[in-house]
Amino acid sequence: MPMIEIAHVSKWYNPTFQVLKDCTLDVAKGEVVVVCGPSGSGKSTLIKCVNGLEKIDQGTITVDGIRVDAPETNLPKLRARVGMVFQHFELFPHLSVTDNLCLAQMKALGRSRDQAVAKAMALLDRVGLKAHARKFPGQLSGGQQQRVAIARALAMDPIAMLFDEPTSALDPEMIQEVLDVMVDLAREGMTMMVVTHEMGFARSVAHRVVFMDQGEIVEDAPKAEFFGKPRSERAQTFLSRVLVASH
Amino acid sequence: MNYNWNWGIFFQPSPEGAGTYLGMLVTGLQWTVVTALCSWALAFTLGSIVGIVRTLPQAWARRLGDAYVELFRNIPVLVQMFLWFFVLPELLPQAAGMWVKQLPNAPFWTAVVCLGFFTSARVAEQVRAGILALSRGQSMAGLALGLTRAQTYRHVLLPMAYRIVMPPLTSEFLNNLKNTSVALTIGLLELTARARAIQEFSFQVFEAFTAATVVYLLINLVVVGAMSLLERRLRVPGFIMAK
């Protein structure tokens, strides 16, 4: 059974604009799937549907056997088990780095403050930011903030991680430090769905690459096959553009 | 202008019996402060609730909040004061109406309720603006971590929203304090009413209203000073906020 199962999902922003068109995609346990495509192709919308931050109009999404789109599903409980990392970090500016990591552990998982802080410190150590535990998000660089955001998601002991363009808002010199954390995570066997243009990341750790354009999943192929020779012309054009841009 | 200045008037006995004219001003000040604080407590509570409701995803809830704000914001506060004091008791069932009319300190309670609702509409507008000033990603981040919507408001959105709108909320607090003077029209013996009484008894019009003006200015300066202290204490390190 796949960890994330997206089946025939369609979504409209208004009666005339269809942002997702019959999307079907599975992510197996321990699998790393990179979703790429031009801006406006619906990839960020799709990943936000996986934990119910965006509603879908047709189709089904199942995470660890639980239907995300069913009205009876306890969404907060499900979301607490699915980590999400955003393009603009979305740390809570009024809370210290430690408190950013502890808030949901205490409020959603019911951990004690001591348990939560211990977990937070271990994870901050892991992303190399233990020394910054008492600082506030506004006092950190973009790369540091994104690493804190990843640690915040990991503090919930997630069964899968969703990344929504985690490096798009970063200065070029900070991209690598964030990618390094993500690569480690992938190598440890975390189930990951990653929306990104970082083809280097896709090449090194992805199992599959999904290419989206205009709300459709145009291509869904094993990494080697995708980079070897994508079947669709649209994917070929896209790849030639991003690969030129990144060299 | 042939005017006989007499600042000593405040130390002369008041014609109301016990105490001096100064004593009249002081009791007026007490009513002003108590009315302002009580109505603000009501305004802040109701305003926060309505402001939050106006940012919820449910369209019907937002519309209900909009209607509330437009109702209380668009009727002059003087008219609202008359509606609560003269009209409402007549509209209630007879027993309830009588109870309201015979309430001890009826002008005070009416002023608290009237100003509380009037100012709450304005507070609601500020709280809503503060929440909307935050990026949509902030509430998504809260929800994505497994917080409920209520927890997301309580721990993520509101702490920042209140900080952002603290300067305009200070203005609303001051407006509310000054609006207590409207309650003299329903018989509340607050600062302005007492200044007017001093003028009527003593004919020292300039002294009476100069004193009232200075007292209002002083209270407002204290409030502004206290709020800027509070703002500094609640400042978020590294977060740029309008000064």
Answer whether residue B243 shows pLDDT above 50: no
Which tokens go with B22? 């100064």
Answer whether residue A126 shows pLDDT above 80: yes
Q: Which domain holds residue B143?
A: 9-234
The owner of tokens 């603000």 is: B40
Q: Looking at beta carbons, which residues of chain A come within 8 Å of B135?
A: 88, 90
Q: Looking at beta carbons, which residues of chain A come within 8 Å of B236?
A: 93-94, 136, 138
The owner of tokens 């409701």 is: B53
Question: Nearest-CA distance from B148 to chain A in Å?
Answer: 6
Question: Nearest-CA distance from A157 to chain B in Å?
Answer: 11
Burial A87-98 (b: 16+ CB within 10 A, else e): bbbbbbbbbbbb
Helix (H, G, I), strand (E, B) or coil at A58: strand
Q: Which residues pair with A193 in a beta bridge?
A: A33, A162
Judged by a CB distance cut-off of 8 A, whether residue A53 touches chain B is yes
Q: Which among B198, B173, B191 is positioned nearest to B31, based on CA atoms?
A: B191
**Residue B170 and residue B181: Cα distance in Å, rounded?**
18
Q: Which residues, in sequence order, are CB contacts of A230 under 8 Å at separation 6+?
A: A211, A219, A221, A236, A239
**Residue A201 and residue A197: Cα distance in Å, rounded?**
9
In a domain, B41, yes or no: yes
Any idea what DSSP says for residue B84?
I
In a domain, B214, yes or no: yes
Which residue of B139, B145, B231, B241 is the best one to mutate when testing the A interface, meaning the one whose CB has the most A CBs within 10 A?
A: B145
**CATH number for the domain that contains residue B24:** 1.10.3720.10
**Residue B131 and residue B123: Cα distance in Å, rounded?**
12
Judged by a CB distance cut-off of 8 A, whether residue A66 touches chain B is no
Q: Looking at beta carbons, which residues of chain A come within 8 Å of B240?
A: 138
A197: left (phi over 0), alpha (psi -120 to 50) or beta: alpha
Model pLDDT, residue B19? 87
Model pLDDT, residue A111? 97
Model pLDDT, residue B100? 87
Task: Search chain B and give the residue with CA nearest A156.
Answer: B145
In this prediction, residue A17 has a pLDDT band, given cuts at 50, 70 and 90, of very high
Answer whether residue A150 shows pLDDT above 70: yes
Q: Amino acid identity, residue B62?
A: R
Q: Which residues pair with B214 in a beta bridge?
A: none
User: Taking a C-beta distance cutoff of 8 angstroms, is the pair A215, A58 a contact?
Assistant: no
> pLDDT, tens digit, for every residue of B148-192?
999 999 999 999 999 999 999 999 999 999 999 999 999 999 999
Q: What are phi and psi of A173, to 5 degrees?
A: -75, -5
Answer whether residue B225 shows pLDDT above 70: yes
In a domain, B4, yes or no: no
In a domain, B1, yes or no: no
> pLDDT, tens digit, for every residue of A49-81?
999 999 999 999 999 999 999 999 999 999 999
Judged by a CB distance cut-off of 8 A, whether residue A103 touches chain B is yes
In a domain, B83, yes or no: yes
In a domain, B117, yes or no: yes
In this prediction, residue B240 has a pLDDT band, given cuts at 50, 70 and 90, of low
In this prediction, residue A232 has a pLDDT band, given cuts at 50, 70 and 90, of confident
Q: Which among B193, B186, B187 is positioned nearest to B208, based on CA atoms?
A: B193
Answer whether residue B241 shows pLDDT above 60: no
Answer whether residue B239 shows pLDDT above 80: no
Helix (H, G, I), strand (E, B) or coil at A121: helix
In a domain, B54, yes or no: yes
Domain count, chain B: 1
In a domain, B142, yes or no: yes
In this prediction, residue B242 has a pLDDT band, given cuts at 50, 70 and 90, of very low
pTM for the predicted model, two decimal places? 0.90
Least confident of A93-102, B12-21, B121-130, B233-242: B233-242
Say whether A79 and B238 touch across the interface (CB within 8 A): no
Which tokens go with A137? 């998000």
**Residue A37 and residue A194: Cα distance in Å, rounded?**
12
Question: Nearest-CA distance from B56 to chain A in Å?
Answer: 14
Q: How many CA atoms lie within 13 A of A61 on its CB side?
A: 26
Helix, strand, coil fractions of chain A, as percent rounded to 5 = 40, 25, 35
